[in-house]
Each structure stands twice: as C-alpha cells, then as structure tokens.
Amino acid sequence: MEPTAQLAPGVEQSTVGDNTNVLTEEDVYCPACGYNLRALVSDRCPECALDVAFIKSAESLLPWVHRARVGRLRAYLVTVWMVVFRTQRFCLEMSRPVGERDARAFRRITVLLAFLPFPLLTLALAMLRPDGFDAVLHFGGPGYLAVMHAAVLAAILSVTGVPYYVIRHKEVDLARQLRAAALSLYCCAPLSIMGAAVVFAVGGVAASRLANRDWDLALYSVALGIFVVLMVIVLFDVQRVIWWMLRETGSALAVNVKLCLFWCLSVFLSLVAFPAAAAYGVILYYSLRA
Ligand SMILES: [Zn+2]
C-alpha cells in the first residue's frame, strides 16, 4: 500500500514521524504527472504515488547554479557532464525553478568555447599552409574572412538560441514552459567540446603538407565526425527537454516541426544569406568606386 499523501497548505515546515519535510515557497512539480508538490507533507505524489522525496526541494541540482561555491570551472565541467551523460537527471530539473540568468551565462560561455576554435583554425591555416591562406585572402580579402567568422558565430548563436523561443505549448503550464525553455539553453553544453574537432582539423591542415594525402583526409573526417556527433547530442538533449515538458500533454509534433523550421531557417540565414548579403554589399561598393 502506498502511504496516504497529506497536504498542508500554507504550512512552512512540518514533521511527519522521523521525516522532516522542508516545504518550499516555490512551485515544485511531480516529474511524472505534473502535480504541484508545494506544501506537500509526504514523500509520495498524491496524484500518481511516485516517490518525490528527491525532487521536493526547490534548490537546483544543476552544478552551474552553485558555481560560486564549487568554483566556475568545476561547476561548468560537471554541468556539461550532467547534460551529456545524465540527461534524465538534467531534465528532472524542470520540476523545480530554473534560473534563467544562470542558464544564459552558461550558454554565453559555451558559445564562446564553440566559436573560439574557428579563429584558431584560421590562424593555424595561416601558419601551416600560407599558400592556402593566401588563396583565401585573394578570393575575398580580409573582409571575407571576417564575414565568414561572423557567419559561424551567428550559426552557433542560432542553433543554441532557437529552442528557447520555440519550446512553447499552449496546453502546458506557463511556469513549466519557461523552465523547459531555460533548460534548453543548457542543451548547447556538448558544443563546448568543439575544440576537439578543430584540433583534428588543424592536424589535417598540417598533414596536407605531406606528399601522402590520406592522412589529412582521415584527420578531416575525424573532425567532421566529432562535429556531427556533438550536433546530434545537442539535438537529442533538446528532444529530451521537449519530451519531458510534454509528458502529460502528448504530441510534440507541432513543437518539433517549428523547431526544425526555425533551426534550418536560422542556419541558412547565418551561413548563406548573411555572407551573400555582405558579398552583395561589397560588389555594390566597388561598382560605385570603379
Ligand atoms: Zn505525480
């Protein structure tokens, strides 16, 4: 038999036998059925009888939230680990308040870590293959290089930012929608390892000086493989967040269609339309000068 759930509305803290339940001022939801566990004096959800002792505190278990105490680097690394390898525990955070400012700070750092390897790759190209670098410069000048880097940055910002605006569903409680949206900002965590892909790409650039072209192709392939795997993990994490948000509501089709559309559109705008517009502007400028 499941213990009978007891509700004590308005009570700050209460004790049942040996079990002290600290009740929260915040709305904390049952991860299985979405029942509001605020002021609950039992370890069982009254709606579905799930053992909710682990979720009843409103204090976040996301390591990044506790970075002031555990240190930024450690908090960041453990959060990346949690998002990538402990996805279910990460998604359970939807049951309690998710700090949006923390999530945005985490995303800013991740975007930076994902982007910085690209200028370093360009630098490596300039140093290891000056002939290739000069060819790129002759093609469009330094402005072309700057635009390409801006395009990559815009693409990273789009991919990591779009889910925040798309993860909405009118049948889901607004607080839960906002928590899911804030959690989606953490889903970019795998991109922090982008440097690994770029290390192999730099290796490929270095190996392209060799007479045997097998090595550079192999290294480029590994770089591409790592990039694809990281992107797949991001997609998987966002999917999990959507699934958890819609657990009681059902179909995620509408959200997913919207997500795919906006992702494709934003990547197209970043990597194709924006550089094309820049090139068009340059052509107009030179046509006027001539
Ligand atoms: Zn429940």
Angle, to 10 degrees, between the axis of helix 214-245 and the axis of helix 72-85?
A: 80
Q: Is the pLDDT of residue 161 over 80?
A: yes
Distance 93 CA to ligand 1 centre (A): 15
**pLDDT confidence bin for 25, thresholds 50/70/90:** low
Q: Confidence class of residue 138 from pLDDT cuts 50, 70 and 90?
A: confident
Per-residue pLDDT, 52: 81
Has residue 96 got a pLDDT over 60? Answer: yes
Ligand 1 center to residue 34 CA distance, Å? 6
Residue 268 has pLDDT above 90, yes or no: yes
Dihedral angle computed from the Cα positions of residues 253, 259, 261 and 264, in that order, rounded to the nearest 10 degrees: -140
Which one is predicted more confidently, 81 or 14? 81
Q: Over pLDDT 90: what percentage of the chain?
A: 52
Distance 109 CA to ligand 1 centre (A): 35
Task: Look over the chain and give the mean of its residue pLDDT values, rounded to a whole number.
Answer: 86
User: Residue 162 C-alpha to ligand 1 middle, in angstroms?
Assistant: 30
Residue 253 Cα, ligand 1 centroid: separation in angstroms?
24
* Ligand 1 center to 96 CA (angstroms): 14
CA of 235 to the centre of ligand 1 (A): 28
C-alpha 36 – ligand 1 centre gap (Å): 8
What is the arithmetic mean of pLDDT over 172-191? 93
End-to-end CA distance of the chain: 87
From the CA of 52, how far away is ligand 1's center (Å)? 8
- Would you tell me how many other CB atoms lie within 10 Å of the CB of residue 85? 10
User: Ligand 1 mean position to 157 CA, how many Å?
Assistant: 36
- The rounded Å distance from CA 270 to ligand 1 centre is 43
Q: Which two tokens stand for residue 31?
A: 């991860």
State in Å: Cα 271 to ligand 1 middle.
45
Compute the distance from residue 166 Cα to the ligand 1 centre, in Å: 26
Mean pLDDT comparison of 10-24, 132-146, 255-269, highest-scoring range: 255-269
Domain boundaries, the chain: 1-58, 63-289
Per-residue model confidence (pLDDT) at position 11: 35
pLDDT at 290: 61
> HEC profile for the chain?
CCCCCCECCCCCEEEECCEEEECCCCCCECCCCCCECCCECCCECCCCCCECHHHCCCCCCCHHHHHHHHCHHHHHHHHHHHHHHCHHHHHHHHHCCCCHHHHHHHHHHHHHHHHCHHHHHHHHHHHHCHHHHHHHHHHHHHHHHHHHHHHHHHHHHHHHHHHHHHCCCCCCCHHHHHHHHHHHHHHHHHHHHHHHHHHHHHHHHHHCCCCCCHHHHHHHHHHHHHHHHHHHHHHHHHHHHHHHHCCCCCCCHHHHHHHHHHHHHHHHHHHHHHHHHHHHHHHHHHHHHC
**How close is the Cα of 44 to the center of ligand 1, in Å?**
8
CA 186 to centroid of ligand 1, rounded, Å: 25
CA of 258 to the centre of ligand 1 (A): 29
Please tell me the distance between residue 199's alpha carbon and the centre of ligand 1 in angstroms: 47
What is the pLDDT averaged over residues 59-76? Answer: 92
Q: How confident is the model at residue 6 (pLDDT cuts 50, 70, 90)?
A: very low
- For residue 260 the two structure tokens come to 């795919």
Interval 194-216: pLDDT, tens: 999 999 999 999 898 888 778 88
